[in-house]
């Protein structure tokens, strides 16, 4: 089976943004100046089409978990997407990465069941260099602090045991979430460019779950991300004109 553009499906430009959470989808849509009345359905998500620096950009969400996120990214690729930014939330495993901090994954450790169905050569899927540069460049230009490092992807957030947290802490893994390893794997298999930006929503570094979604720091970070993501889109669309490869 191959994902295809169905009759009546929209096309997208080469640049797309995948947003995990409903709350962020609305804020990022407004930051991109996209009319909320123009949504199309992609599976159970909504897809919006907009323009960023005279280049088409697609925005799609919400989505949760590796299997569903992969269904969405496969559909986006079939509709024309070639460069994709994923924005989501994560839990921190390290004490120096607080709630409201930003994590830019440069490799992922898979404990989800989707990646194994896509044969790729690396056990630790990574983002493309071009999208990674766009993310980091935009954060640096906006003076937004972030950490770059490994992320642990799981299908079972309520089985993030103390033993596993300690194991990954000792390996230097920065955070835990539910989509990135699968998305990076599919991107490598389908030969498209993918990167991710995560904001820390809760803290597991002390081996006690400390939710932070109601905190001022977390809410402020999500607003900051919405302000910086348009810059990331511009940099992603500039690569073709600049002749920059992965």
Report the CATH number that the domain containing residue 224 is assigned in CATH.
Answer: 3.40.50.1580
135 CB-near residues (< 8 Å, 6+ apart) = 85, 104, 195, 196, 197, 232
Q: Is residue 9 part of a domain?
A: no
3-11 LR contacts (CB < 8 Å, sep 24+): 3/74, 3/75, 3/77, 3/78, 4/78, 5/78, 5/79, 9/79, 10/40, 10/47, 10/49, 10/79, 11/79, 11/80
**pLDDT number for residue 244:** 38
Q: Is residue 4 part of a domain?
A: no
Which tokens sit at 169? 């802490």
Range of the domain at 67: 15-238
Q: Distance (Å, rounded) from C-alpha 62 to C-alpha 57?
A: 16
**pLDDT number for residue 52:** 83
Q: Does the structure show a pLDDT above 90 at 104?
A: yes
Q: Is residue 2 part of a domain?
A: no
Q: How confident is the model at residue 122 (pLDDT cuts 50, 70, 90)?
A: confident
Q: Is residue 212 part of a domain?
A: yes
What pLDDT digit, counting tens, does each position of 174-230 carry? 999 999 999 999 999 999 999 999 999 999 999 999 999 999 999 999 999 999 999
User: Average pLDDT in the 75-79 region?
Assistant: 96
Q: How confident is the model at residue 241 (pLDDT cuts 50, 70, 90)?
A: very low
**pLDDT number for residue 4:** 84
Q: CA separation (Å) from 179 to 50, 92, 94, 114, 222?
A: 25, 15, 20, 10, 18
Q: Is residue 244 part of a domain?
A: no
Q: CA separation (Å) from 148 to 51, 60, 104, 176?
A: 29, 25, 5, 13
Q: Does the structure show a pLDDT above 50 at 150?
A: yes
Give the total number of structural domains in the chain: 1
* DSSP-based three-state secondary structure for 217: helix
Q: Is residue 41 part of a domain?
A: yes
User: Average pLDDT in the 111-128 region?
Assistant: 93
The 10 Å Cβ neighbour count of residue 163 is: 9
Which tokens sit at 243? 């002749």
Q: Is residue 10 part of a domain?
A: no
What pLDDT digit, counting tens, does each position of 4-53 carry? 888 888 889 999 999 999 999 999 999 999 988 889 999 999 999 998 87
**pLDDT number for residue 243:** 42
Q: Does the structure show a pLDDT above 80 at 246?
A: no
Phi, psi of 136 (to 5 degrees): -65, -40
Average pLDDT in the chain:
93
Q: Is residue 101 part of a domain?
A: yes
Which tokens sit at 174? 């920065």
Which tokens sit at 137? 């460049």
Q: CA separation (Å) from 181 to 156, 178, 219?
A: 14, 8, 25
Angle between helices 129-141 and 216-242 (to 10 degrees): 120
19 CB-near residues (< 8 Å, 6+ apart) = 25, 28, 59, 60, 61, 62, 63, 86, 87, 88
């Amino acid at each position: 089976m191959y994902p295809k553009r169905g009759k009546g499906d929209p096309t997208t430009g080469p640049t797309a943004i995948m947003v995990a959470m409903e709350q962020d989808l609305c804020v990022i849509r407004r930051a991109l100046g996209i009319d909320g009345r123009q949504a199309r359905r992609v599976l159970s998500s909504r897809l919006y089409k907009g323009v960023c620096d005279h280049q088409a950009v697609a925005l799609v969400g919400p989505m949760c978990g590796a299997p569903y996120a992969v269904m969405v990214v496969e559909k986006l690729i079939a509709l024309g997407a070639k460069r994709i930014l994923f924005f989501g939330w994560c839990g921190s495993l390290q004490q120096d990465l607080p709630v409201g901090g930003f994590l830019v994954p440069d490799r992922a450790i898979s404990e989800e069941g989707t990646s194994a169905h896509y044969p790729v050569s690396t056990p630790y899927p990574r983002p493309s260099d071009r999208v990674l540069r766009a993310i980091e460049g935009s954060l640096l230009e906006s003076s937004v602090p972030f950490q770059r490092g490994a992320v642990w992807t799981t299908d079972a957030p309520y089985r993030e045991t103390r033993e596993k947290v300690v194991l990954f802490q000792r390996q230097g893994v920065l955070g835990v979430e539910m989509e990135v390893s699968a998305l990076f794997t599919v991107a490598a298999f389908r030969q498209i460019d993918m990167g991710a930006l995560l904001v820390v929503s809760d803290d597991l570094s002390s081996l006690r779950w400390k939710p932070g979604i109601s905190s001022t720091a977390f809410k402020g970070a999500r607003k900051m991300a919405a302000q910086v993501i348009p810059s990331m889109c511009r940099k992603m669309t500039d690569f073709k004109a600049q002749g920059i490869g992965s």
